[in-house]
Structure 1
Amino acid sequence: METPVPIAVMESAVSGGARVPPRLAPTPEGDRPACALARKLDGFAPLTEQDRTALVDLIGHVRPVERHAVLVEQDSVPDHALIVFAGFASRYKRRVSGRRQIVAYLVPGDLCDRGALHGHPLHHTLETLTPCHIAKVPRAAYLDLLGRHPRIALALQRARFVEEATAREWVVNLGMRSGVERMAHLLCELMERLGSIGQVTDGQYDLPLTQLDLADTLGLSSVHVNRVLQVLRRDGLISLQGRCLHILAPRRLRQLAEFEVAYLKAGYL
């Protein structure tokens, strides 16, 4: 297997401000590190108290992981499920030249269990974009969890449908929207995804991604990303201070992006 060619990484925050030293993202909601996962799954299938306890028990598998750590290499067969408890991770494809295309974000409550379930190689790489807390759950323990808790298994199945719908929406974003519309759509999507796990307050949420991360997500150059952000600021749609994004006019931003939230909801295929 070819070793991916490293690329230069822009260290500054998307606001273009001074470099902020990497810091480990806090576990969600203090004494309930499993809260993001439970809240996400509960939105797809109502969980019992026993289900929630089982999710809390996964805390024993959680470890801090540094920024830009490869979690699973492309073409490898993971023997575990990976669950994000804090921070941002990504799925990406990389060309021989070293250029990457980010094809998905994994935010708190998201997971990758394809290897644990099926034992097939992944066709992409999983890597952290920020410092994270990640649970690495061995296959046997993960399958036992699903067997003992059918509601969790059902919720995860529905979550996969949403993941597939999101991937299709990203294809549309790259193929049919302008740079400004792409950014607007992504920011609306993140507000919905993070809001569903209680990490959005009054239209504000943490956006710890670099301009390079956003460029590799949206199929733009980092210079173009900067220009797009300036347009959204100038038009009074967003403000961005360090890592804190504030969507000032959510209705107008959704209209600009033609954002429809249905694809992020359970039961939407």
Structure 2
Amino acid sequence: MEPIIPVIELNRERPDTDRIPWHRAPAPDGSMFGCALARKLDAFGPLTEQDRSALTGLTVYTRPVGRHVVLVEQDCAADHALIVFAGFAGRHKRRASGRRQILAYLIPGDLCDRGALHGYPLDHAIETLSHCRIARVPRAAYLDLIENHPGIAFALQRARLAEEATGREWIANIGIRSGVERAAHLLCELLERLGSIGQASDGRFDLPLTQADLAEALGLSSVHMNRVLQTLRRDGMIALQGRHLRILAPRRLRQLAEFEASYL
């Protein structure tokens, strides 16, 4: 069977570059990277020009991070907020055997501030799934941001509610939908999320994920995931070329998944 998305085995040995300390450094074209964060938050609460400028300023904390780099280990308490400015990352739980379940995809504009706000240890790990640009914002700088920009603080609260609703939808997706329906629902969700930050148009978006990354989010084996994608392609619902996906029949895909975007 012709594979649609190649399976990439993860290299469990972390190269030395994964351990480079985080530091403040100028980010190239900060407005470009800050745009996704501002567009996402603006959808949850109107932002002022001062708010937008403050969000763009967070790009001084960014650096490029390679694929499959652990950003926060499970059971570790971070003293910073993590923001994805480019690429895909994910939250996951891993068993001693090495098997993992991806709990959420983090796309540009997504943020994890639990460490910055409370210092509680995470009950899951956060890892990059593609090449990314990640900001690690120190607690003091992050608290200063939300204290001096109530519009940002309000939008972040509403964004957390949407994240919680998305988590519940993922549980339902795995529990009550078939493999094809699960994949259809996930692709509809990604189209909505990426479209809201200006990174999807005409049903097209970059999908820098492996077959294993998709399978581990949907509770499927890699073989089953491949068959599911083949089915969606054969039925004329999607097309894949490299890491670029196009949804050819969005209405049919939504109907198949019984997708409603109101939870986002």
TM-score after normalising by structure 2: 0.90
Offset of 1:171 from its aligned partner?
0.2
**Conserved? CA contact 1:14–1:243, under 8 Å:** no
Counterpart residue type for residue 184 of structure 1: A
RMSD: 1.8
CA distance in 2, matches of 1:154, 1:67: 32
**Conserved? CA contact 1:71–1:127, under 8 Å:** yes
Structure 1 gaps of 5+ residues are 1-12, 20-26, 265-269
**Conserved? CA contact 1:29–1:35, under 8 Å:** no
Give the length in aligned residue pairs.
245
What is aligned with 1:167? 167
What is aligned with 2:5? 15
Counterpart residue type for residue 204 of structure 2: Q
Counterpart residue type for residue 15 of structure 1: I
**Conserved? CA contact 1:14–1:209, under 8 Å:** no
Deviations 1:101-148 (A, max 9, x none): 000010000010011101111000000000100000000000000000
Offset of 1:30 from its aligned partner?
7.8
What is aligned with 2:249? 249
**Conserved? CA contact 1:28–1:36, under 8 Å:** no
Deviations 1:36-94 (A, max 9, x none): 00000000000000000001111110110111000000000000000000000000000
**Conserved? CA contact 2:80–2:138, under 8 Å:** yes
**Conserved? CA contact 2:7–2:212, under 8 Å:** no
CA distance in 1, matches of 2:4, 2:233: 13
Counterpart residue type for residue 260 of structure 1: E
CA distance in 2, matches of 1:227, 1:17: 13
Structure richer in helix, relative to its length: 2
What is aligned with 1:193? 193
CA distance in 2, matches of 1:57, 1:207: 27
What is aligned with 2:231? 231
Between the two proteins, what is the percent identity of the paired residues? 72
| 2:149 is the alignment partner of 1:149 | yes
What is aligned with 1:64? 64
**Conserved? CA contact 1:101–1:217, under 8 Å:** yes
What is aligned with 2:131? 131
Moved over 6 A (4+): 27-30
Counterpart residue type for residue 217 of structure 1: A
Counterpart residue type for residue 69 of structure 2: A
Superposition map of 1:26-65 within 5 A: 31-65=31-65
Counterpart residue type for residue 243 of structure 1: R
**Conserved? CA contact 2:239–2:247, under 8 Å:** yes
